[in-house]
């Protein structure tokens, strides 16, 4: 049986970025607050549950003793630490005739083009001791002097950890996070995180809160994460996440037949912290608004389906809680699934595949946003990881023959 991975996704092990129609309500850069306001708002935003991915195990109400193994601690506003940059470069013959901003981007490669253009304009990057426009052409022997102070927002250390970059330009980075990687350092996870990896591969981002992270997903969920490479980009993308012009689609394998799942195309049920089991979320009247859309339901067999899910809100564990609430939990979800994952009519191989699947079968496969600098609509996709593809293969085995 051939199972469609998604309407927008091929079965090849590659990733793609393309333009896609969506709202374009992001402010232009000249409408953004100044640097200090951005820093303050970043810190506040990273502590805001509205910016948490549905699957994040981070919640500001829980202290370290409440967390399960592998979960992140409550986010803490990063403390700004001044970092002085003082670099001089003498223009070479090969560079003669180039624009100031072009030379700067080549010799001060740790910083983005947007940052350098800002420093040329505000006088942090001087040309022969004076402020000049970025388009001025340089001559051999001219002197470029960069002197500025960056605000380093954490003491997290860079680590040489491979990361899968699926989209990148001067302002934005999209990473495909593997299963098992914690997004940022926390209790019990001081090293080996995505933030540690980002600080190694993109050292210029050390002055951004959480190295530019815009949102988060849980350690055991795979898929796409959006990162701003500059202060204005990170702030603009956070604003988009709040006003819902960033969209996120997921794929997951769930226990349930197609007809039953199609009765829950829109799940609108408020979610809050469980009153007694403090590491869990639950549907409750006093919870915060939470809306999940089942965009596509593909049967794998009579009792299991592959779902394409879209989020209208971004509550902690939203997809997992909502699907469990309608009695169709994710395969591998030990917290919200339990024995309800096992349905009738399974072969022994299928029963073993479900029982032994080591994590929630959930993957963030599509991410759409408005580019913070160009205003273009960008969509990035990444295929299902191998473990979920193998699970789908086992569950769909023989289904076409019936």
Please name the residues in contact with 140: beta carbons below 8 A apart, sequence gap of 6 or more: 91, 92, 93, 95, 96
Q: Does 218 participate in catalysis according to the annotation?
A: yes
Query: How far is the C-alpha of 129 from the C-alpha of 147, rounded, in Å?
Result: 11
Residue 383 contacts residue 11 (beta carbons within 8 Å): yes
The DSSP result for 97-146, as a single string, is TSBHHHHHHHHSTTS-HHHHHHHHHHTSEEETTB---TTPBP-TT-EEEE
Q: What span, in angstroms and rounded, lies between the C-alpha atoms of 197 and 307?
A: 31
Instruction: Round to the nearest angstrom and report the end-to-end CA distance of the chain.
Output: 11
Q: Give bridge partners of residue 153 from the DSSP assignment.
A: none
Place of tokens 């009579």: 302
249 strand-pairing partners: 310, 366
Q: Which two tokens stand for residue 141?
A: 């022997």
> CA 319 to CA 328: how far, in whole Å?
11
Strands (E), 320-370: 362-370
User: b/e per residue, 23-55, with b = 16+ CB within 10 A?
Assistant: eeebeebeebeeeeebbebbbebbeeeebbbbb
For residues 193 and 213, give the distance between their C-alpha atoms in angstroms, rounded to a whole number. 12
Tokens describing residue 63: 């202290």
The active-site residue out of 57, 71, 72, 218 is 218
CB 267 within 8 A of CB 326: yes
Residues carrying an active site annotation: 218
């Amino acid at each position: 049986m051939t199972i469609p991975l998604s309407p927008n996704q091929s079965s090849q092990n590659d990733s793609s970025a393309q333009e896609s129609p969506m709202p374009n309500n992001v402010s232009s850069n000249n409408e953004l607050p100044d640097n200090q306001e951005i820093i303050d708002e970043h810190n506040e935003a990273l502590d805001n549950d509205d910016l948490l991915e549905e699957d994040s195990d981070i919640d500001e109400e829980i202290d370290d003793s409440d967390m399960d193994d592998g979960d992140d601690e409550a986010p803490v506003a990063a403390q700004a630490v001044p970092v002085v940059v003082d670099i001089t470069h003498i223009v070479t013959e090969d560079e003669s005739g180039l624009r100031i901003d072009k030379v700067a981007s080549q010799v001060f490669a740790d910083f983005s083009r947007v940052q350098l253009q800002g420093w040329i304009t505000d006088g942090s990057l001087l040309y022969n001791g004076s402020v000049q426009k970025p388009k001025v052409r340089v001559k051999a022997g001219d002197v470029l002097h960069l002197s500025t102070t960056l605000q380093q927002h954490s003491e997290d250390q860079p680590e040489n950890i491979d990361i899968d970059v699926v989209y990148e330009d001067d302002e934005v980075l999209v990473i495909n996070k593997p299963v098992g990687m914690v997004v940022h350092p926390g209790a019990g996870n001081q090293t080996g995180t995505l933030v540690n990896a980002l600080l190694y591969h993109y050292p210029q981002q050390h002055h951004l809160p959480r190295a530019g992270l815009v949102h988060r997903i849980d350690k055991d969920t795979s898929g796409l994460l959006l990162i701003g490479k500059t202060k204005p980009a990170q702030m603009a993308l956070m604003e988009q996440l709040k006003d819902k012009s960033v969209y996120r689609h997921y794929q997951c394998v769930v226990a349930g037949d197609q007809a039953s799942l199609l009765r829950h195309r829109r799940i609108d049920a408020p979610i809050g912290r469980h009153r007694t089991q403090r590491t869990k979320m639950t549907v409750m009247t006093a919870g915060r608004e939470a809306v999940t859309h089942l965009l596509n339901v593909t049967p794998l067999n009579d009792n299991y389906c592959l779902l394409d899910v879209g989020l209208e809100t971004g509550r902690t564990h939203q997809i997992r809680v909502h699907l469990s609430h309608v009695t169709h939990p994710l395969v591998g979800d030990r917290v919200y699934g339990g024995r309800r994952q096992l349905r009738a009519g399974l072969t022994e191989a299928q029963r073993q595949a479900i029982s032994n699947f080591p994590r929630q079968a959930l993957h963030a496969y599509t991410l759409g946003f408005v580019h913070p600098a160009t205003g273009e609509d960008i969509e990035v996709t990444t295929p299902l990881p191998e473990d979920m593809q193998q699970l789908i293969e086992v569950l769909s085995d023989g289904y076409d023959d019936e």
